[in-house]
């Protein structure tokens, strides 16, 4: 046994080391509601201590982890609290944190059942739960990926496979050179991750046919070009700015009759299907062929947790599967058939834990509460002179603007500097806007009220300065 192996074995069995890490992590969560939402300038400056050459000699694990905690923790964005609204970023539920921590110790690969029977079993269980929650066809399979960027890529890859297969072209073998052309059709406000997927799949973003949207960002069905069996139609469940949903029912019959492939980007919005009061937003999604959704957004699993769902298992397998003499096919589920990567951690552990922890009623309550807090935010800001709400708050998104782009930018910057809450900027329908995303289970009525007061205070100061 080498000296390095001896040291590693000592650290592996150092119970005190790991117990201290858990203690620090719990303390961080305990303080989350009192912390600044965004790191202070001093905390960000302290990160310079990491600017060092790679050490020649080994360092003690305790020393390394102590430095990471002492310097790193103050420089984190406190999305674990209740006042982070900058991106569509959920909090992390306790059961999910615990499952992820346990999974870190297990360190499971999940490509094949033989590599991790527990992961394979839970992936099969959760796949059934997801079909139930979203009301999807029985044939639907799930791939557990990093996020909706990967999920959108997988869904569109499956669509490319199926449409080319129907045309007699084996795209996996022949490639795209000299292949029949396919049409990509989507709303003008499609998310950038879809443009990335379209580019990576070789279609080219210049080939996209954009359909104009209404004042809420919904694709206008009457302007949709007639689909055919060479069309990949991309719809949206949750506009990234307004939170609006396309009219799936109005589009379903035309797309099905034509033989088009329909993909729904539902990164955060697909979870509306799980809430009785909001399920009308996703009415008709079952006609699609593939769907993308995240757990780490609305469901509040820890990062990273994305899901691709596809009702055409052969298409998903055909687009993503690899072969090798060393691969072992299991008696049950082998995750490698439904994702593009082989080396993949068992993120299913925290997804399973969170869904079991909440149950159907809890998921309904969580999703509904996020919507209610967004509505509260909109009502509060609408009463602040000089601030306008630009969208219909149908889900968890609120779009805010001042009287001019310049004033909106100033408002955004000053609110961020206050660190009471953190919100992000965006461009929407030709205007600079502030986008508020209510995604964390930890957001209370008081959190929203305090955040509204921060906006009000900043706006009053800006108006006074402008008037003076």
DSSP-H helix ranges across 181-294: 192-200, 248-258
Angle between helices 445-467 and 405-418 (to 10 degrees): 130
Tens digits of residue pLDDT in 256-283: 889 999 999 999 999 999 999 999 999 9
The arithmetic mean of pLDDT across residues 84-99, rounded, is: 95
The arithmetic mean of pLDDT across residues 49-75, rounded, is: 94
Q: Which residues contact 83 (CB under 8 A, 6 or more apart)?
A: 37, 420, 421, 422, 443, 447, 450, 451
The arithmetic mean of pLDDT across residues 441-457, rounded, is: 97
Q: Taking 80 as the threshold, does the pLDDT of residue 322 lie above it?
A: no
Assess contact for 367 and 271: CB atoms under 8 A.
yes
Quote the mean pLDDT of the chain: 95
pLDDT at 331: 79
Tens digits of residue pLDDT in 212-240: 999 999 999 999 999 999 999 999 999 99
Tens digits of residue pLDDT in 14-32: 999 999 999 999 999 999 9
The arithmetic mean of pLDDT across residues 150-174, rounded, is: 96
Q: Taking 80 as the threshold, does the pLDDT of residue 467 lie above it?
A: no
Tens digits of residue pLDDT in 288-311: 999 999 999 999 999 999 999 999
Q: What is the DSSP letter of 213?
A: B
Residue found under tokens 């009301």: 135
385 C-beta neighbours (distance < 10 Å), count: 9
Phi, psi angle pair for 263, to nearest 5°? -120, 135
pLDDT at 466: 82
pLDDT at 1: 87
Give CA–CA dist 368/356, Å, rounded.
18
Tens digits of residue pLDDT in 365-399: 999 999 999 999 999 999 999 999 999 999 999 99
Assess contact for 300 and 441: CB atoms under 8 A.
yes
pLDDT at 245: 98
Give CA–CA dist 164/117, Å, rounded.
35
Question: The whole model's pTM is what?
Answer: 0.96
The arithmetic mean of pLDDT across residues 347-355, rounded, is: 97
């Amino acid at each position: 046994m080498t000296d390095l192996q001896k040291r590693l074995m000592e650290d592996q069995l150092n119970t005190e080391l790991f117990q201290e890490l858990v203690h620090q992590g719990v303390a961080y969560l305990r303080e989350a509601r009192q912390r600044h939402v965004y790191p202070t300038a001093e905390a960000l400056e302290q990160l310079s201590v990491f600017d060092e050459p790679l050490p020649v000699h080994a360092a003690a694990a305790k020393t390394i982890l102590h430095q990471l905690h002492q310097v790193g923790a103050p420089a984190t964005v406190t999305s674990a609290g209740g006042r982070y609204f900058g991106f569509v970023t959920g909090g992390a539920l306790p059961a999910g944190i615990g499952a992820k921590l346990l999974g870190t110790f297990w360190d499971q690969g999940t490509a094949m059942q033989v590599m991790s029977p527990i992961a394979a079993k839970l992936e099969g269980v959760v796949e059934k739960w997801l079909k139930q929650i979203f009301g999807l066809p029985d044939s639907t399979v799930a791939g557990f990926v990093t996020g909706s960027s990967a999920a959108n890529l997988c869904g569109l890859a499956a669509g490319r496979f199926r449409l080319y297969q129907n045309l007699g072209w084996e795209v996996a073998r022949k490639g795209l050179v000299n292949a029949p052309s396919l049409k990509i059709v989507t709303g003008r406000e499609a998310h950038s991750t879809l443009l990335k997927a379209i580019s990576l799949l070789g279609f080219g973003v210049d080939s996209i046919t954009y359909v104009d949207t209404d004042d809420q960002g919904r694709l206008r069905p009457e302007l949709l070009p007639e689909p055919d069996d060479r069309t990949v139609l991309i719809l949206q469940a949750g506009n990234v700015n307004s939170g609006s949903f396309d009219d799936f029912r109005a589009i379903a019959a035309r797309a099905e009759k034509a033989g088009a492939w329909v993909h729904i980007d539902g990164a955060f919005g697909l979870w509306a299907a799980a809430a009785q009061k909001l399920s009308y937003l996703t009415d008709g999604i079952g006609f699609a062929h593939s769907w993308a959704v995240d757990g780490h957004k609305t469901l509040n699993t820890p990062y990273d947790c994305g899901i691709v769902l596809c009702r055409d298992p052969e298409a998903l397998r055909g687009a993503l599967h690899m072969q090798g003499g060393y691969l072992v096919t299991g008696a049950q589920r082998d995750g490698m058939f439904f994702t593009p990567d082989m080396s993949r951690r068992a993120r299913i552990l925290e997804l399973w834990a969170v869904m079991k922890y909440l149950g159907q009623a809890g998921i309904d309550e969580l999703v509904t509460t996020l919507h209610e807090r967004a509505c509260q935010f909109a009502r509060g800001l609408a009463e602040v002179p000089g601030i306008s709400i630009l969208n219909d708050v149908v889900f968890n998104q609120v779009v805010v603007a001042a009287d001019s782009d310049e004033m909106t930018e100033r408002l955004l910057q000053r609110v961020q500097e206050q660190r009471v809450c953190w919100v992000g900027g965006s461009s929407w329908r030709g205007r600079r806007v502030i986008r508020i995303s209510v995604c964390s289970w930890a957001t209370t009525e008081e959190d929203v009220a305090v955040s509204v007061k921060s906006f009000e205070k900043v706006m009053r100061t800006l108006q006074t300065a402008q008037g003076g």
